Amino acid sequence: MPAYLDHAATTDVLPAVVERVADQMRVLGNASSLHTTGRAARRVVEESREQVAAALGARPSEVVFTSGGTEADNLAVAGTFRQRRSDDPARTRLLVSTVEHHAVLDCVEHLVAREGASVTWLEVDRDGRLDPQTVRAAIEQRPDDVALVSAMWANNEVGTVQPVEQIAAVAREYDVPFHTDAVQAIGQVPVDFAASGADLLALTGHKLGGPLGVGVLLARRDVRVEPLTFGGGQERQMRSGTLDTPAIAGLAVAVDHAVTHLDEHSAHLASLRDKLIHGAVGAGFGITVSGPHEVGDVRHRLPGNAHLRVPDCEGDSLLYLLDAAGVECSTGSACQAGVPQPSHVLLAMGVSEDDARGALRLSLGRTSTDADVEAFLQALPAAVERAQRAHRAGRGADR
């Protein structure tokens, strides 16, 4: 079996989730039907909604089921923009951090290109952290035209955890909705929707041991969001479509498990992460770490994230060489895999293009072990040496 170090892309489905989904798939019923079978399916959906809400500090009425994190982010960003512009035509400016996932970035770029939006990009520091005062300054430029502030809870590439509560507090001062992508945060750091002050929060199942193809947008009861899909009016009229009752039931199990086991899971991941970082940096290749990286830190960096930059080589070459040696990792977001350009996250953090090209993201999960970390550290030297030779040869051919 390979050493799987790409849990940020997707992680193992919990056995209890598999059982819950399988059990529910054997049961007939559309949760929108009014007869006995339909009401039974609806009961499963509503009990799952209550379970998700209780685990994440939300009200059941604030849980909107989606097909995953991308749809949840799109619904939050595009839906809020369109609703705010409809209510007040002056509300066309989006304030968005420069290190967002493409589910947010590409949605914003679409709104700018096609729907008359403008965007103020919120710059981060060298650790990828967004200063709440940067948000304040951006709002105060033109406070009457802001439609939405969006900043992710934890970065999917470098693992930096944002000061969400402080950012939300600034947005609330100016009566501006605040959206946060918490896809990577759930199950690794404490997430309490009510306490955070966020108005909209996106999460997905497959990052925390749940099924693929199901997620949630947490939306405060007073937030108005224009739907992206139309039909039966399910999910507070925000998201029409037949509800996937088995997947929703499985998601609820996964969210509850992630929150219940957060402390032990976080400690387990941080221990492995620190061992991996220490070994890689000490290997003698000039490897550096992106983002905050104090030993034992589970507040400012995701405990399961190790983001390394290896000098004088291409990350893709390292990835394939490590894969051949039985170690699976990534160079960044799986949604951008195969795109031959440096990470926008690293460039936003002030990393040069050359340094950014040698990036590796190693992410740990529930099933990760010391043996996985050892396998990576043993495979790393040979992979780096070959990748650097190939890089030098390529540079020579270009001259």
Question: What does pTM read for this prediction?
Answer: 0.95
pLDDT at position 393 is 81
pLDDT in tens, 238-281: 999 999 999 999 999 999 999 999 999 999 999 999 999 999 99
Q: What is the mean pLDDT of residues 375-398?
A: 87
pLDDT class of 322 with cuts at 50, 70, 90: very high
The answer to whether 230 and 27 have CB atoms below 8 angstroms apart is no
Q: Is residue 335 pLDDT above 70, yes or no?
A: no
pLDDT at position 34 is 96
Cα–Cα distance, 290 to 182 (Å, whole number)? 20
Q: Which two tokens stand for residue 315?
A: 């990350």
Q: Is residue 334 pLDDT above 90, yes or no?
A: no
The separation between the first and the last C-alpha atoms of the chain, rounded to the nearest angstrom, is 42
200 burial (CB, 10 Å; 0-12 / 13-18 / 19+) is buried
pLDDT at position 351 is 96
pLDDT class of 399 with cuts at 50, 70, 90: very low
Running DSSP on this structure, what letter comes out for residue 297? -
Q: What's the mean pLDDT when you consider all of the chain? A: 95
Neighbours of 89 (CB within 10 A): 10
pLDDT in tens, 103-147: 999 999 999 999 999 999 999 999 999 999 999 999 999 999 999
| Cα dihedral 169→170→174→175 (10° resolution) | -30
- Domains of the chain by range and CATH? 3-10+262-398 (3.90.1150.10), 15-260 (3.40.640.10)
pLDDT in tens, 181-201: 999 999 999 999 999 999 999
CA quadruple 251, 245, 180, 108: dihedral sign:
positive
CA angle 64, 227, 113 (to 5 degrees): 125
pLDDT class of 341 with cuts at 50, 70, 90: confident
Q: Is residue 224 pLDDT above 90, yes or no?
A: yes
Which of 28-42, 71-85, 336-350 has the least mean pLDDT? Answer: 336-350
* DSSP codes of every residue in 321-373: HHHHTTEE-BSS-GGGTT--S--HHHHHTT--HHHHTTEEEEE--TT--HHHH
Catalytically active residues, by annotation: 335
Cα–Cα distance, 2 to 98 (Å, whole number)? 34
